[in-house]
Structure 1
Amino acid sequence: MRGSTGGQEASKIILVVEDDEQHALVLAQIISQLRPHRVFHASDGPTTLKFTEHLKPDLFILDYWLPTMNGIELYERLRLRKELQDIPVIIISGFLPLDEIHARGIESLPKPFDLNELLLKIDTLLGEQPESSPHA
């Protein structure tokens, strides 16, 4: 489990669940540089579930293809816990079973995704005004 924080005062906690450590670190770095949030990384479902025993994120960004359980299975496990039921989720992947994802009302982004689209989804799901960025 790793975390990174932008230079500004962190206001929200985002948990990126991605088994490719390089992708996760780049994503965490970009988000924490462009938004004032603390970004943590977990590599699989069991680590995510353990993390949420100690800290409640404000947003989950889940890869669909994870070891031991996929992103939808992890989403379902998180929703079983009352304190996590209202936390927004974005599922990302190169291959997304959109019918399963949309049936649950989960936000999604296909890989590769547009950085501005991800940042807009983050801002919207966290109830914040979209910030302008050098990538906008």
Structure 2
Amino acid sequence: MAMILVADDEPDVAALFADVLTSAGHTVHTAPDGPTALERIADLRPDLSVLDHYMPEMTGLQVAQQLRADPATSSLPLLMVSASAPPTALLYCNVVLAKPVPLAHFRMVVQDLLRQEPNETLHDLDRVRAVARLLDLHTDRIAGRLNELAEQVATEAGAAMAAVNMVLIDAVAVCGAYGLGGWIEQAGGIPAEWAPCTRVVREGEGILIDDLGEDQAFAGTPLATVTKVRSYAGVPLRDAAGHIVGAVNVMDRTPAAFDKDTLNRLLARTASVQEIVQS
């Protein structure tokens, strides 16, 4: 099983998490503060680290930032569990959970993170920073222009839906959309594992999915079961420096609705999207 480092300044909480993980067969070490967590991670090379946010000397966010900046730990799965995690935590941690967290859910999230294979592109710190900069620039005016462009892209591709997404480590922000389900637009984004555009970022190239309902990774997600998306086509969206920050996508409720010509149409639109998101 895995070796896990739990960093929390509350001994009872650290002991509780350690008991839960030990009972699942893992070896668990604890740290009472940020500097100690960094030291033990460097010495032990754990498979995953659980971080509180407010800890003495260094916050969990500062610990995560240092880990992502170090090539030796940049792909270490990080789970932040905190009563008051900052919004930027998702830029550096794979998953953020709020305290108090149901222990069964905590254990399940840990198991899911341990099963994931680190992806150098998705976790690249420069890429994540580039996404953060663009999201900081995002305004209602930019969103309006991207919504209009998404409608044009959908029309050109003969698609029911289109979206411009920014992809963080564990979440996807919907920056512009046309025809998507109201729950997605109201939320402003979805978990990365639900979104085919995460695969676009990981692979660094355009992808086609003929039927999400038959794709093992997406068949059970709300995108397939609630919004009823079947066909998907998406291409990488890059910033001016060449970082893959997200994707331009079209979707439809009919299987096999797209082909390579669709990808070429989307690629032709990425320059316009780049101009808008950086304006």
Is 1:100 aligned to 2:88, yes or no?
yes
Map 1:1-136; keep pairs closer than 5 Å.
11-33=1-23, 35-97=24-86, 99-104=87-92, 106-127=94-115
Q: Which runs of 5+ in 2 are unaligned?
A: 117-279
Q: Alignment RMSD, CA only?
A: 1.5
Q: Give 1:31 deviation, angstroms.
A: 1.4
- Count of residue pairs brought into register by the alignment: 116
Q: Give 1:80 deviation, angstroms.
A: 2.1
Percent of counterpart pairs with the same letter?
Answer: 29
* Secondary structure, aligned partner of 1:120: helix
Superposition TM-score, scaled by structure 2 size: 0.40
Relative to total residues, which structure has the larger helix share, 1 or 2? Answer: 2
Alignment partners' CA distance in 2, 1:113 and 1:106 = 16
Q: Give 1:106 deviation, angstroms.
A: 3.1
Greater relative contact order (Cα < 8 A, sep 6+): 1
Q: Give 1:104 deviation, angstroms.
A: 3.6
Give 1:6's aligned residue: none
After superposition, give the CA deviation of every residue in 1:82-109 in whole Å (9 maximum; x if it has no partner).
1111110010111122x21234453111
Any runs of at least 4 consecutive aligned residues in structure 1 with deviations exceeding 6 A, and if so which? Answer: none
Structure 1 window deviating more from structure 2 (44-53 vs 57-66): it is 44-53
Alignment partners' CA distance in 2, 1:24 and 1:103 = 24
The change in CA–CA distance for 1:51 and 1:105 in structure 2 (over 3 A counts) is closer
Code of the aligned partner of 2:19: Q
- Decide whether the 8 Å contact of 2:80 with 2:93 is kept in 1: no
Alignment partners' CA distance in 2, 1:89 and 1:65 = 15
Structure 1 window deviating more from structure 2 (14-23 vs 44-53): it is 44-53
Superposition TM-score, scaled by structure 1 size: 0.79
Alignment partners' CA distance in 2, 1:101 and 1:68 = 18
Please say which structure displays the higher CA radius of gyration. Answer: 2
